[in-house]
Amino acid sequence: MKVVAIIIAAVLVLAAAGGAAWYFLGGSGGGDSGVQAAPSPVENQAGVTNPSPDNAETGDKSTKEAPPPPRRVEDAAKPENWPVFSIELATFRSLDKAREYLAAISQRDIEAELVETVDAGGRAWYHVRTGKFDDPRQAAARLPDVERKTSVYGVVVTEIPAAAAK
């Protein structure tokens, strides 16, 4: 009895998998789906393209214009207090060590700058950062190139303008 139940379960699983594959690979769900392929122009023996049946019937020689592409989020206007994204290469407590590292990085054709921050305890931290990007994806896209040139793993950081931080 167990063998029969296992065989039935296996057949059901295979049927479900086959049905799902048939559906996702373009099988129809029975009947007309309502979607028709656009007729394509036909080229005759002389190499002249005959108009599509739609244009031939109406006598309309114009073609429909393609709809405009969707708006990109990256193209949206950014407010004044929009954060700036950078790639942070190192952080130091000592200003002298940070300057030494900045000089070493500059020799590898990387334009970097020092950014000072103060933690909750009032201690200064000096960050070596490169790049100013409007979008974190832009910074992340540049990250492998910077890592290759510096042999240092960087991290994308956000800098909020002082006006927005208040």
In a domain, 154, yes or no: yes
In a domain, 140, yes or no: yes
Whether 108 has a pLDDT exceeding 70, the answer reads: yes
pLDDT for residue 97 = 95
Find the CATH number of the domain harbouring 104.
3.30.70
In a domain, 70, yes or no: no
In a domain, 37, yes or no: no
Average pLDDT, the chain: 76
Residue by residue, what is the 3-state secondary structure of 24-72? HCCCCCCCCCCCCCCCCCEECCCCCEECCHHHHHHCCCCCCCCCCCCCC
Give the mean pLDDT of 110-120. Answer: 91
In a domain, 97, yes or no: yes
DSSP letter, residue 81: T
Q: How many domains does the chain have?
A: 1
Whether 138 has a pLDDT exceeding 70, the answer reads: yes
pLDDT range class, residue 126, cuts 50, 70, 90:
very high
State the residue range of the domain holding 141: 87-165
- Residues 127, 91 contacting (CB under 8 angstroms): yes
pLDDT for residue 64 = 78
